[in-house]
Amino acid sequence: MLWYFLRQNIVFLDFGEYIMGLNFIGGISISIVFIYAYSQIIRLISKFFERKYFLNRDGFPTTYLMLYNNKVFSDKYKDKFRHKVKEYFNFDLLNKKKEYENIEEAKKRLNETTKQIILLIKDGQLVKLHNIWYGFFRNLIGGIPIAIFACLVNITFGFFYSTDLIIFSAVMLIPYSIIMGFHKALLIRNAEAYANQLISEFMNK
């Protein structure tokens, strides 16, 4: 993108013609390597946000929503959930008193149970859809810091080479910044939507 705007003969080519004129055959190997490296960077950034908002706190929503200290579901519903886990997997989750005494053990057992529930429910009715949405927003948020950095670099180069580059990058920077501003809410909301659906379908088994 930056190279396009820095071309001296930019006035003679529109962007579509420029793209069609590129020699993709010669650069296909480099492109594959770049795309792979870029996807791995996005994955690392996504994992960073998952650790920040989930793993370094109470775990993923599939874990913390079933803790007694979380108020989303009633204690009665959580008791029923534990009975169902015992029925299906012959696995004991901690009751309210024992959870209060050993919260880390309670989270560990809930996390282990979630893996079994995922295998049981599989794609479910709407679980797969919620999982896709969560994965989409997780990867989108992982790419946003890179996109913002690229826009800032483009704007900097634009001051020396092209006003069009400044305008284009500034326009793109607006939605990227908005998403970054709400990234925490987007990530948590979609993770909790997936967890809610998974738990709901398990309870209806």
- Roughly what angle, to the nearest 10 degrees, separates helices 183-203 and 103-121? 70
Quick one: pLDDT at residue 17? Answer: 55
H-type helices in the chain, by residue range?
2-6, 15-20, 24-50, 61-64, 75-89, 96-101, 103-121, 127-161, 163-181, 183-203
The amino acid occupying position 99 is E
For residue 191, which of 130, 140, 145, 126 has the smallest C-alpha distance? 130
**Whether the Cβ atoms of residue 78 and residue 68 lie closer than 8 Å to each other:** yes
What is the spatial distance between Cα 200 and Cα 196, in angstroms, rounded to a whole number?
Answer: 6
Q: Within 10 A of 5 (CB to CB), how many other CB atoms are there?
A: 20
Q: CA torsion sign, 125 to 126 to 127 to 128?
A: positive
Alpha carbons within 13 A on the beta-carbon side of 101: 5
Each residue's pLDDT expressed in tens, for the chain with a length of 205 residues: 444 444 444 444 455 555 555 554 445 566 777 788 888 999 999 999 999 999 888 889 999 999 999 999 999 999 999 999 999 999 999 999 999 999 999 999 999 999 999 999 988 889 999 999 999 999 999 999 999 999 999 999 888 888 888 899 999 999 999 999 999 999 999 999 999 999 999 999 8
Q: Within 10 A of 44 (CB to CB), how many other CB atoms are there?
A: 10
- Roughly what angle, to the nearest 10 degrees, separates helices 75-89 and 183-203? 60
What is the spatial distance between Cα 177 and Cα 187, in angstroms, rounded to a whole number?
Answer: 15
Residue 201 exposed, middle or buried by CB count within 10 Å (0-12, 13-18, 19+) = middle
Domain ranges of the chain: 45-203
What is the spatial distance between Cα 107 and Cα 59, in angstroms, rounded to a whole number?
Answer: 7
